[in-house]
Amino acid sequence: MIKKLIVKQNSVLWIIAVGIIIVPFILPNRYFQDIAVMTFLWAGLATSWNLYSGYCNRLSIGHAAFMGIGAYTSTLLYLNFGISPWIGMLAGGALSALTALLIGGITLRLKGTFFVLSTIAFGEILKVMTITSTEVTSGALGLMIPFQPGFANMIWTGKIPYAILAWIYMLVALFISVKLEKSKLGYSLIALGENQEAAENLGVNSTKTMMTAFILSAVLTSFGGTIFSQYIMFIEPTSVMGLSTSINFILLAIAGGLGTAFGPMVGSFILTPVSNLLRGYLAGISGLHGFILGMILIIILLYRPDGILPQLKLLSKRILQKLDKPKKGE
């Protein structure tokens, strides 16, 4: 039994991922429920980011651009044409896929450092374009979504429906990650991340592999953007496309474990509540919250660059083995 548990650590993580939905129902008030929504949403976003950047170890630091595309597409369609955000979400996903195809065609073949820099440039160009097209996007002022509750509008009065939506989003991203890990695409991607030349020599089609993962990651990130905009009901370029948003994806993923299916989720489960509570309690001193998050990231990178999840797995393995031993003696 216990030996099976060691092998099937993923099923434990699945149980946690599915069971966590109880939490927002028990939480006492809207403040804590809001933290739960954000935790699930960021877990989904970080998992989506990880799909490309984590597995093949190529950091896309402009990835929030796809979140922005999702948020702006659904919001603009809803505000101007009354199109339901559910359809807007799909439209945003399609647009993100197209953008990823175009941008990826240019940047994916670039070597490590150049690729990272090109993603920043791409993110910044999109942000500048959004800020300057004031007639459409109202620029840096941002867009407000009027409060008209209803399932078709993806707007609800309480926090619970949002929590369920964000949770489903997270589970979808997780499911795709786990599937990817066991697919040929996933193996190729990880091989490319470890040694591109060697992988190519063994017959991995690097362009196709990276492109597929990049598009998948972009579309999922874009879905998260739509959910984010419908939840916050206000979007502006820096909050949905800014560098700090991209850094947050990375922070959560690396804290949990880069290139593991459940790592970003674990990272978000720990860091998003901490971050939100800090922001709440330390609101008096602006900057302290960001300072602490930055320090956490530095400490993780210096001492545990593998992230928390591998550590937890190791720890649980040891505990389980210790529990196992006395039985053998009997």
Kindly state whether residue 211 participates in binding another protein, applying the rule CB under 8 A: no
Strand partners, 150: 155
How many residues sit close enough to another protein to count as binding (CB under 8 A)?
45
Q: Which of 31, 114, 151, 281 is in the footprint of another protein by CB under 8 A? A: 114
Kindly state whether residue 29 participates in binding another protein, applying the rule CB under 8 A: no
Q: Which of 102, 152, 283, 295 is in the footprint of another protein by CB under 8 A? A: 295
Residue 290, Cβ neighbours under 10 Å: how many? 14
Chain positions 224 to 263 lying near another protein, rule: CB under 8 A, are 243-244, 247, 250-251, 254, 258
Q: Which of 8, 25, 87, 112 is in the footprint of another protein by CB under 8 A? A: 112
The nearer residue to another protein, 311 or 321, going by C-beta atoms, is 311
Chain positions 60 to 99 lying near another protein, rule: CB under 8 A, are 61
**Of the listed pieces 36-44, 54-62, 91-99, 182-190, which binds another protein according to CB under 8 A?**
54-62
Kindly state whether residue 57 participates in binding another protein, applying the rule CB under 8 A: yes
Q: Tokens 């004031």 label which residue?
A: 134
Q: Which of 98, 291, 319, 321 is in the footprint of another protein by CB under 8 A? A: 291
* Coil, strand or helix at 150: strand
Q: Which of 18, 98, 106, 141 is in the footprint of another protein by CB under 8 A? A: 106
Kindly state whether residue 213 participates in binding another protein, applying the rule CB under 8 A: no
Determine the Cα–Cα distance for residues 84 and 297; give it in Å rounded to an integer.
38
Q: Which of 33, 96, 118, 188 is in the footprint of another protein by CB under 8 A? A: 118
Residue type at 71? A
* Coil, strand or helix at 261: coil
The nearer residue to another protein, 23 or 116, going by C-beta atoms, is 116
- Here the tokens at position 248 are 């947050």
Kindly state whether residue 131 participates in binding another protein, applying the rule CB under 8 A: yes
- What stretches of the chain show up as alpha helix (H) in DSSP? 2-7, 9-19, 22-26, 30-52, 64-81, 85-107, 112-132, 134-137, 160-181, 184-194, 196-201, 206-232, 237-241, 243-256, 263-281, 288-303, 308-329
The nearer residue to another protein, 116 or 232, going by C-beta atoms, is 116
Cβ–Cβ < 8 Å for 206, 196 = yes
Determine the Cα–Cα distance for residues 66 and 222; give it in Å rounded to an integer.
5
Determine the Cα–Cα distance for residues 55 and 264; give it in Å rounded to an integer.
12
- Here the tokens at position 289 are 């919250």
The nearer residue to another protein, 306 or 324, going by C-beta atoms, is 306
Kindly state whether residue 280 participates in binding another protein, applying the rule CB under 8 A: no
Determine the Cα–Cα distance for residues 20 and 40; give it in Å rounded to an integer.
9
Q: How far is the CB of 192 from another protein (least distance, A)?
A: 14
Chain positions 157 to 196 lying near another protein, rule: CB under 8 A, are none
Q: How far is the CB of 120 from another protein (least distance, A)?
A: 6
**Of the listed pieces 23-31, 51-59, 85-93, 228-236, which binds another protein according to CB under 8 A?**
51-59
Q: Is 162 exposed, middle or buried (0-12, 13-18, 19+ CB in 10 A)?
A: buried
Of the candidates 35, 42, 24, 23, which has an alpha carbon nearest to the alpha carbon of residue 276?
Answer: 35
Determine the Cα–Cα distance for residues 11 and 285; give it in Å rounded to an integer.
42
- Alpha-carbon 285 to chain mean position: 28
Kindly state whether residue 301 participates in binding another protein, applying the rule CB under 8 A: yes
Binding footprint of another protein on the chain (CB under 8 A): 57-59, 61, 106-107, 110-114, 116-118, 120-122, 124-125, 128-129, 131-132, 243-244, 247, 250-251, 254, 258, 285-291, 293-295, 297-298, 301-302, 305
